[in-house]
Amino acid sequence: MNAEIERRRTFAIISHPDAGKTTLTEKLLLFGGQIQVAGAVKSNKIKKTATSDWMEIEKQRGISVTTSVMEFDYEGYKVNILDTPGHQDFAEDTFRTLTAVDSAIIVVDGAKGVEAQTRKLMTVCRMRKTPVIIFVNKMDREGKDPFDLLDELEEELKIKVRPLSWSINQGMRFKGVYNIYEQNLNLFTPNKQKVTEKVEVDINTPALDEAVGAEDAEKLREDLEMIEGVYPTVEEVIGTSEDGTSAYLDAEVAPVFFGSALNNFGVQELLDCFVKIAPYPRPTTAEEREVKPEENKFTGFIFKITANIDPNHRSCIAFCKVCSGKFVRNAPYLHVRNGKTVRFSSPTQFMAQRKETIDEAWPGDIVGLPDNGIFKIGDTLTEGEQLHFRGLPSFSPEMFKYIENADPMKTKQLEKGINQLMDEGVAQLFVNQFNNRKIIGTVGQLQFEVIQYRLENEYNAKCRWEPVSLYKACWIECEPGYEAELEQFKKRKYQYLAKDREGRDVFLADSGYVLTMAQQDFEHIKFHFTSEF
């Protein structure tokens, strides 16, 4: 069992929109032998779209809307990649994905440097002490000086860095990458769909001058000398030193790689080094105790639900992260929240939208379970033990609209569509107690467009949005013994009260001032801004 655990690598690829996550994922799949030709996110010449952007809306817009899961074998390791959306309107999906991985790769655009969304995601990694590797992308375009970029990474992401590969020039003069980790040189020939060859060159011989030119060779030697002098040693970072500690695994230092994902450059160095140094599945903390991966009994939690992966079958799939033990097909497992025993006859593993049935899965693997409405995000499965894995929040939405049926003949389809999309955690549904109208709350504007598009294309239902001016939704509860105060609050604010899908009370404040006054006037009522309390 330990051998199976130790060969697993489960990680997320995260970044600001347009830094090149999906393109990088596509190239990793190319090296993993899962695809023969890499697709493009946006391109007129390459007709194949990216494997991980499988939704219709993703292909049209060239952005990722949902996290997709892909797995492949590489040099004896089993790699599970989760390609996340970069767009901040889908940040919640990305935050949840980070609870299910053991490490992360952050993609940074070489020209733009660190951007807003990257900072936010790094904060989540820091909170969870997730080890990160940074990939500086787009070196084939003019960008910032690599040393300035390293300083910016340290300042903005609040983590020390250590380059493990170094680019020779950039933009039009980009000659290639020197691999510090393996000490060899890779020369650059632009090719979007095939792989470039390596050149073994000793850095202190004239062969280097012949390969890249005397001027660049001299600069490379100076740069490498400076890197050795300024940054922590490779041994300290990746733990080949005698005491065996690793600053990377302790989330104190982030190794940095340079390259161009679109042109397949620097990606293999990243992958080769990643599988060797990245952590295998770690213990997971539940409310009751810490769960270790090598325990005999199976445990796992649901971190994501997706409707309509296969357009021909209107079915939902729940993504389950295996935390300990071995998951076996058709074995009886306890669904902790509703106390029932469930069996799964067709658990699947993914390659984005393509999936195949499996008989077993090990800690670190992501298993797709067919879901007929029994799962919610955050549910736990065990072999009988009462366990609760926490840390999968839904945030208080900041944008609100009434959702109305635009086609009375399709009422059932609309109901089903809304329910399944809300199960996915795309947005949140509130029913106003005053006029019984449905209000959808989201974190960003783009989600309204995605919901409308998916209702029409996947459920054949039409909806229209109507404006409602609200400031924030917060869940309310009272301290024990102050039920009368809660009743009084409800009477006074009855126009602004709603119920969520769990039937909990939600106060829809129409301005910041109203919310502050309510908190002052009713001292014994608690106002919560995430749904976990």
**124 pLDDT more than 80:** no
Asked whether residue 416 falls in the same domain as residue 509, the answer is yes
- Residue 389 inside a domain? The answer is no
**Do the domain assignments include residue 404?**
yes
Do residue 30 and residue 119 come from a single domain?
A: yes
Question: Are 340 and 326 contained in the same domain?
Answer: yes
Give me the percent of the chain exceeding a pLDDT of 90. 2
> Is 148 a member of any domain?
yes
Based on the domain organization, do 258 and 377 belong to the same domain?
no
Dump pLDDT digits (tens) for 184-205: 777 766 655 555 556 666 667 7
Q: Three-state SS for 269?
A: helix
Fill in the DSSP letter of residue 409: G
- The reply to whether 69 and 218 lie within a common domain is yes
In terms of domains, do 186 and 272 share one? Answer: yes
Pick left, alpha or beta for residue 244 (phi over 0 → left; psi -120 to 50 → alpha; otherwise beta): left
Q: How far apart are CA 451 and CA 457, in angstroms?
A: 10
* pLDDT confidence of residue 315: 67
CB atoms within 10 A of CB 200: 9
- Please report, for the domain that includes residue 411, its CATH number: 3.30.70.3280
Q: Given pLDDT bands bounded at 50, 70 and 90, which one contains residue 352?
A: very low
Same domain? 411 vs 362: no
The residues that bridge with 389 in the sheet, in sequence order, are: 286
Residue 86 has pLDDT above 80, yes or no: no
Shared domain check, 168 and 80? yes
User: For the domain that residue 159 is a member of, what is the CATH number?
Assistant: 3.40.50.300
269 in a structural domain? yes
Q: How far is CA 315 from CA 310, 371, 417, 458, in A?
A: 8, 7, 11, 11
Whether 78 and 212 share a structural domain? yes
| pLDDT tens, residue by residue, 393-429 | 566 777 899 999 988 898 998 998 888 888 777 788 9
Same domain membership, residue 349 and residue 208: no
pLDDT tens digit sequence for 437-466: 999 988 777 788 888 888 888 888 898 999
Residue 231 is assigned to a structural domain of this protein = yes
d(CA 246, CA 162): 13
pLDDT tens per residue across span 1-11: 688 888 888 88
Q: Count how many residues are written for the chain.
A: 533
Q: How far apart are CA 477 and CA 502, in angstroms?
A: 14
Residue 110: how many CB atoms within 10 A of its CB?
A: 25
Q: Is 391 part of a structural domain of the chain?
A: no
Whether residue 362 contacts residue 4, with contact meaning beta carbons closer than 8 Å, is answered with: yes
Tokens 């126009």 label which residue? 495
Coil vs helix vs strand at 387: coil
> Where is the domain boundary, 253, 282, 311?
282
User: What is the total count of domains within the chain?
Assistant: 3
Strand partners, 438: 431
Task: Identify the domain boundary among 225, 260, 282.
Answer: 282
Same domain, 182 and 231: yes
Mean pLDDT calculated for residue range 382-393: 77
Query: Letter for the amino acid at 472?
Result: K
**388 within domain boundaries:** no
Residue 390 lies in a domain: no
Domain span including residue 176: 2-282
